Each structure stands twice: as C-alpha cells, then as structure tokens.
Copies of this chain bind each other. A is one copy, B any other.
Amino acid sequence: MKKKTILVTNDDGVTAPGLKALVSVAKEFGKVYVVAPDSPQSGQGHAITLNKPLRLKKVDIFKKMKNVEAYKCSGTPADCVKLGKHVLLKNKKVDLCVSGINHGSNLAINIIYSGTMSAAMEASIEGIDSIGFSLTDFSWEADFEPSKKYVRKIIKNVLKNGLPNCKLLNVNIPAISKKKIKGIKVCHQADSHWIEKFQEGKDPVGRPYFWLTGQFVNNDKNPNTDVNAVEKGYVSVVPSMHDLTKYEAIEPMKFLEK
C-alpha cells in the first residue's frame, strides 16, 4: 500500500495515553501529523473558537516514533482539525483522519457531546474519510493494548476499501481482554439519553452551585445497536453523518406551510 498522509487528533489532549496508542498504529500506514488540544476537551461537542486567535506549537512528545510530526493547539478538537487541514497540511492531500483513542465510551447519544467524534466529524465535513475510536474505560491508566489490533484492522480495511455511502465511523471498543473481544459489529446508534442530576451545594462564600452528574439510560431494545454490540463483547462501528434532517418528518410536518 502506498504511504498515506494521516491526521490524528483527540479530545483528551496531546499527552493522553489513548492518543499515543492511536499514533503508534496510524504510523504503520504512512506519515502521521498529530494536531491535538493542549488541554483536555471532553464534552466540548462541536464547539469551535470564533472570538479569539488559536495557537499551534510543535511538540516532541512522539520524537521516539518515526514518521510522526506533532503539534498542540489551544483550541477545541474541531479547531484542531481545521488548523491541521488548512494551515499545517494546506497543500497536502489528507488520506484519513483518526481521532482518539478516547478514554471513555462514545456510544449512543454520547456522540453528540463528544469532542473525539466532533473532531472526526469535522474532518468528514471537509471531505476526509474519518474514524473516531473510543475505549469504554475513562481512566488515564486504561489498557489500550487490546484495542490496537482492532484499530489496525479497521484503518487498514478503510484505507483499502474506502467508506461506501459514508465519510465517518464511530468505533467503540469494549474494555475487556483481547481474548474476550468477539469481533466487529457494524450497527446503529442506540436511542438513549441521560437522566440528569445536579449535585447542589454552596461555595466558600455561601453562593449556590450546580454540578452536572447523571445516569446513562439505553431505551433501545433493537439488538443492532452500538450499546448492545459492546455489551456483548464486540467492537461497535456506526457509520455516521452530519445531516441531522429527520426525513420521515418532512411530509407530516407540511401542515406548517398552510
């Protein structure tokens, strides 16, 4: 396979072990350019920075790896991709963008809040084939070794066959041992939500505060969901998109035109 140009980013920041794991696999396929946030950006959704300038600075975090050039960026994950494509790689064709490996699941509704997936989506909007990878373990010490086999397999397959009918994949890997992972399932986003709770308290000067917490609830009984795949020990792959139109509602909503 011809050497590819691969843009790598994440939302946990340039020092995250999950990013290192992803870079270590991506570099097997060509030249890797890392543009990652200089601080953690979880929950940033598709935020972009409009009202202030961004910084982009070369870092030597990956200097022991060949074919890797890395930068930290002061912006959001989506900003990283924009800067990567339009400043750093202005005159280069980018073959693939990979984002992650996220420390924590981006299953189901979490794609909406995810900086990891918004970075991957940003690349797909720009016309770049793109994949977001997440491991269902939030800890900084999460074991990314079992993930690497599947990250490698999926990147290889996508570079070879492309992404028919889509530009973006949301991949979630169960945090279990390599032996226990049963394979890959291509499936759809589970219909789910969070039951929100706010921890309420008073700050040191007695003013009230509210701190978001909550519980994830899967409402989707369909077996072909990402949540179900991961629960059963599979790596879930959801072909995704940025067209949010609910086409089935266009005709029924025509009463608004009258």
Contact = CB atoms under 8 A, between A and B. Distances in A.
A125 B55 CA distance: 35
A186 B244 contact: no
Contact of A256 (B52, B154, B243, B244): B154
B87 A242 contact: no
A256 B240 contact: no
B212 A253 contact: no
Interface in A118-146: 118, 121, 125-127
A45 B43 contact: no
A237 interface: yes
A78 B248 CA distance: 26
Nearest to A114: B46
Nearest to A234: B257
B53 A211 contact: yes
A209 B166 contact: no
A178 interface: no
Given A86-B197, A212-B79, A55 B207 contact: yes
A209 B54 contact: yes
A48 B50 contact: no
B255 A45 contact: no
Interface string A162-206: 011110111000000000000111111101010011111101000
A243 B189 CA distance: 7
B242 A112 contact: yes
- 5 closest A-B pairs by beta carbon, nearest first, are A45-B46, A239-B249, A53-B209, A166-B249, A164-B252
Interface of A: 40, 42-56, 78-79, 82-83, 85-87, 109, 111-113, 118, 121, 125-127, 153-154, 157-158, 161, 163-166, 168-170, 183-189, 191, 193, 196-201, 203, 207-212, 224, 237-250, 252-257
